[in-house]
A and B are shown apart, each in its own frame.
Chain A
Amino acid sequence: ILNVEQSPQSLHVQEGDSTNFTCSFPSSNFYALHWYRWETAKSPEALFVMTLNGDEKKKGRISATLNTKEGYSYLYIKGSQPEDSATYLCAFPRAGNMLTFGGGTRLMVKP
């Protein structure tokens, strides 16, 4: 059984705060790690696909790092805005390319 865990479960921040959350995953047989942003009533939106240990990817104010040896990835949001409010999901592909998701971090940014 693959355990993909995310923390915290939820987070409330003020507009302008920077924040980060964690995804932990099995470090053996690593293939890739996916990050998604999921706003209510919309499709989960792919943020990053990370494959190499030490990877750091950036998309606007959002960035992510990857440590495959210890089995964790961090997602950072710099200067949070209300439109960043969403659930952030990480996912780990397994045999057949099915994704095993973490429970998500629900971010709420107050204006």
Chain B
Amino acid sequence: GAGVSQTPSNKVTEKGKYVELRCDPISGHTALYWYRQSLGQGPEFLIYFQGTGAADDSGLPNDRFFAVRPEGSVSTLKIQRTERGDSAVYLCASSSQGGAGGYTFGSGTRLTVV
């Protein structure tokens, strides 16, 4: 596609429920990143995929968070037993170069846990 697509754009869920957030990167971009932006803060790194594998998941806050990218393209971020503190904007970015190259971000999924 022309850009990075994230769905849904908004998600309201009840505390304790399971949610899935989807990211469709730019075709051909091998690197995919998930970030989380909480109110008043900059985006924080969650997980990085190179192809199908998670190259670095050190930013995932706990084992309720999991992400997959089974075919090296679309990625799904999964959150189990959601808590109110999980409320944030979840951003996805893809890159063919990384580092000094460019990252293209999606417009994010705003997750609200009530």
Contact = CB atoms under 8 A, between A and B. Distances in A.
Contacts of A91: 42
A28 interface: no
A42 B91 CA distance: 11
Interface residues of A, number: 26
Given A32-B99, A32-B100, A98-B33, A89 B48 contact: no
Given A43-B3, A97-B95, A51 B100 contact: yes
B44 A101 contact: yes
Contacts, number: 65
A91 B99 CA distance: 11
Nearest to B5: A43
Interface of A: 4, 6, 9, 31-32, 34, 36, 41-44, 46, 49, 51, 89, 91, 93, 96-104
A96 B50 CA distance: 9
B108 interface: yes
Nearest to A93: B99
Given A97-B31, A98-B48, A43 B98 contact: no
A100 B59 CA distance: 11
Contacts of A51: 100
Interface string B1-36: 001100001000000000000000000000101010
B45 A43 contact: no
Contact of A99 (B3, B4, B45): B45
Nearest to B50: A96
B40 A103 contact: yes
B5 to A, nearest CB: 10
Contacts of B106: 43
B56 A96 contact: yes
